[in-house]
Structure 1
Amino acid sequence: MITDIESATPALCRLHLGRELRQLRQLAGLRANQVVKRLIWSPSKLTRLETGENAAVEPSDVMALCEMYGADAEKRALLTGYAVVTKTKRDWWQSGEFRPAITPTFKAYLGLEATASAMHNYEAEFVPGLLQTEAYVRAIYQVARRGLSEEEIDRHVTVRITRQEALRRADTPLRFAAVVNEAVLYRGVGGAAVMRAQLEHIAEVASSLPRVRVQIMPFRAGAHTGMNGAFTLLRFHEHDAIKPIVYLENLGDAQVIRSGTCVDRYEDAFSGIQADALGPKESLGMIRAALREH
């Protein structure tokens, strides 16, 4: 439960609202298809409400659900308050400046990232997004996304850099654990000067922010549990009662995975990756050695 709704972000309100509505429906003994049939809604509308994926939630929709579920007056007031926040406040990625650069799936992910307490990220080809410099991001988009205009690239760069504010949140900064393939340190993205600045930035962030942990997966480790590709695992505060999720992204699409069994597999994989990777101190030494190579 959010104790101060007025200061809460829309993303956090959407997640809490979705969880509360899902619990109310289950307590009422109703299946999702029964609810949408009675309210003449599409199935996807209820799914988006319960997963917190709607940009804004109509208070009247929340009241209709509370009426059907038999929620008491206090619960109705709380959930309607959550809905009002989503209607009256905007998350930064909802602004017109960023909207063209954000797909619906990525928008859903940003809402989760903004409220997560911890992120575990394995990267095989890139520096993790939350550690990238502006020049490194720009170099990636100029090559990997050929055809984008400079204006479109600028939007993507701004989105990436703005996301990094999660590492320095005023209330509780994100706890970030990243494991990076050794190849990433030597891949000359943007040229030597860009790579030197990028590796210096990783070293500075890893050294100065106590909630950031960076490890390198060395070539000598051989086969490991991350060889199927990069992934991001998000965890949330226990009192939020929101289950961990996995985010996967490729050139053509992105996916948010919520299935408990599948998420467990990724959690086990990341534990294995961390165990096989170099420790933070030795990893920092490898980063600085790679910096000298550039």
Structure 2
Amino acid sequence: MMTDTQAATPTLCRLQLGSELRQIRLKRGLTSTQVVQKLLWSPSKLTRLETGENATVEPADVMALCQIYGVGEEIAAQLKEYAAVTKLKREWWQATAFRPLLNPGNRALFGMESSASAVHTYQSEYVPGLLQTPDYVRVIHRHANYDRSDEEIDNMVELRITRQGVFHRKPPLRYAAILGESVIRRQVGGRPVMKAQLAHIIEAASAPNVTVQVIPFEIGVHRGMNGAFSTFRFRDDFALKPIVHLEHLADHWVLRREADVELYENAFNELQAMAPGPEDSLKLIKNVMEEL
């Protein structure tokens, strides 16, 4: 068990730790207010710990909670191990060149992405980050970040491409993407850039762990029209519930409430059923390439 924990990402350990501590608190019949009053903590400290939002977790804080909750030695040791991983290991995006480019929303997304066992994503406006080519990334960032230097743009491109390492880890991320037809027809960067981007999607979709489908215009109205979203599922040995991620121009949102997650998972399943299968979807992408 300890070996598995030490091999996990800090984000995965933070999420698992927070989830287990919250479940233990609820089983003990304690409110968050009762706990923070006993420890003289601010309410936000316990909330952030239980939702896995802190970059690191102090083992001493975990032990203090375990004492209040009356947790046995074996479970307490495991919880402390989770906290230790957050202190001793660094995530890949904490590299010096990347840190100035990130906000809390980015860090939350990258943490979930690197820790998830499976990601389902729907995108209606642009190619999802995990499928983008360097030239496509550069065009997007040039339009979105006019005040960035050439060096910063280069680092942003490297950051986006480094994210794609989740496809090459062991085991690789299981990834299913559904794209609105406008994604493959919008000429981001002009014909050569877009043609190369579409070829890259086709190549990526040849891997057994990657599935790409396209929602054609002719489908008409569908639930994805409300906006892009991604759902994240985690390792079976870490009993974490799925999480939804929403990203907009100004911020990112993470949804954990069971009813919200179910809503988005059902929407993705509906889109999968409506869209042509992966083989027919790749044929559509090839047809668009030929038009270019």
TM-score interval, normalised by the smaller of the two chains: over 0.9
- What residue number does 1:91 align with? 91
Question: Structure 1 residues 237 and 88, CA, compared in 2 at 3 Å: closer, same or farther?
Answer: closer
Of 208, 213, 216, 1:215 maps to 213
SS in 1 for 2:225: coil
- What residue number does 1:249 align with? 247
> Distance in 2 between the 1:127 and 1:189 partners?
10
Of 267, 270, 283, 1:272 maps to 270
- What residue number does 1:203 align with? 202
Whether the aligned pair in 2 keeps the contact of 1:123 and 1:231 (CA below 8 Å) is yes
Whether the aligned pair in 1 keeps the contact of 2:14 and 2:86 (CA below 8 Å) is yes
Query: Sequence identity, in percent?
Result: 55
Q: What is the TM-score when the length of structure 1 is the normalising length?
A: 0.95
Question: Structure 1 residues 40 and 96, CA, compared in 2 at 3 Å: closer, same or farther?
Answer: farther
Moved more, 119-128 or 44-53: 44-53
Q: Which runs of no fewer than 5 residues in structure 2 stay unpaired? A: none
> Distance in 1 between the 2:2 and 2:135 partners?
38
> Distance in 2 between the 1:156 and 1:38 partners?
44
SS in 1 for 2:245: strand
> Distance in 2 between the 1:57 and 1:154 partners?
32
- 1:203 Cα deviation from its structure 2 partner: 0.5
- What residue number does 1:45 align with? 45
- 1:152 Cα deviation from its structure 2 partner: 2.5
Q: What is the TM-score when the length of structure 2 is the normalising length?
A: 0.95
Whether the aligned pair in 1 keeps the contact of 2:2 and 2:81 (CA below 8 Å) is no
Misfit runs of 4+, over 6 Å: none
SS in 2 for 1:238: coil
Q: Which runs of no fewer than 5 residues in structure 1 stay unpaired? A: none
> Distance in 2 between the 1:12 and 1:95 partners?
19
Q: Which amino acid aligns with 1:178?
A: A
> Distance in 2 between the 1:183 and 1:156 partners?
24
Q: Which amino acid aligns with 2:6?
A: E
- 1:243 Cα deviation from its structure 2 partner: 1.1
Aligned residues: 292
> Distance in 1 between the 2:2 and 2:32 partners?
25
| CA deviations over 1:83-140 (Å, ceiling 9, x no partner) | 1121111011223321222211221222222111111111111011110011101101
Question: Structure 1 residues 101 and 217, CA, compared in 2 at 3 Å: closer, same or farther?
Answer: same
Query: C-alpha root-mean-square deviation of aligned residues, in Å?
Result: 1.5
> Within 5 A, what are the aligned runs for 1:84-123?
84-123=84-123
- 1:156 Cα deviation from its structure 2 partner: 2.2
- 1:284 Cα deviation from its structure 2 partner: 0.8
SS in 2 for 1:226: helix
Of 259, 262, 277, 1:261 maps to 259
Moved more, 216-225 or 111-120: 111-120
Whether the aligned pair in 1 keeps the contact of 2:184 and 2:285 (CA below 8 Å) is yes
> Distance in 2 between the 1:108 and 1:46 partners?
18
> Within 5 A, what are the aligned runs for 1:216-231?
216-231=214-229
| CA deviations over 1:15-63 (Å, ceiling 9, x no partner) | 2211221122122221111111211112221112112221111111111
- 1:71 Cα deviation from its structure 2 partner: 1.0
| CA deviations over 1:179-205 (Å, ceiling 9, x no partner) | 111111121111211111111110011
- What residue number does 1:29 align with? 29
- 1:7 Cα deviation from its structure 2 partner: 2.8
> Within 5 A, what are the aligned runs for 1:114-153?
114-153=114-153
Question: Structure 1 residues 71 and 272, CA, compared in 2 at 3 Å: closer, same or farther?
Answer: same
Q: Which amino acid aligns with 2:200?
A: H
> Distance in 1 between the 2:77 and 2:114 partners?
25
- What residue number does 1:14 align with? 14
